[in-house]
Amino acid sequence: MKKLDQYKLKDALEHALFLINQEESEPESFNWWDKDPVICELNGYRWYLGQEADEEMSWEEAKAWCKSVGGELPPRDILLQCFLNEDIRPLFKPEWYCSSTEYNATYAWEQDFNNGDQSANYKTYHYYVRAVKRVKI
């Protein structure tokens, strides 16, 4: 019985730390819960679409910007889900968007919202950027 209580306490502490980290990582100006559309539910997460950057950025700049607004740069599979979702696709310009998925040390994957293509290109090139947020479900 003692071990069971230790596990319950450990789970409660981990959950409390998760909630604290969530509060610290979400700036007040970026409210994901009541305004931003749900992209999809995939691999145990609900993915929310966040704001778009005002300018095109390199891969490193895009990752930093997404973090600064309380989100993350979307992986390749989530950008594809954005393109396939008819309610989400019109929220993107018909241009190339940067993903967080690396092809190798020099290249990262991008998503074309004009025709649905994906391609790997130099991380130093500048692309459009959209933040996303994932929440465990």
Domain ranges in the chain are 29-136
Task: Of 87, 134, 89, 135, give the one whose Cα is nearest residue 111.
Answer: 89
Query: Cα separation of 66 and 61, whole Å?
Result: 9
pLDDT (0 to 100) of residue 26: 45
Mention every residue, 6+ apart, whose C-beta is less than 8 A from residue 107. 120, 121, 122, 123
Q: Check residue 74 and report its DSSP letter.
A: P
Which positions of the chain have pLDDT values less than 70? 1-34
Max CA-CA distance within the chain? 59
Output the six-digit token pair for 35.
Answer: 């305004």
pLDDT at 30: 47
Residue carrying structure tokens 């130099």: 122
Q: According to the model, what pLDDT value does residue 25 have?
A: 47
- Complete edge-to-edge strand list for the sheet that includes strand 38-42: 38-42, 45-52, 130-136
Question: What is the CATH architecture of 29-136?
Answer: Roll (3.10)
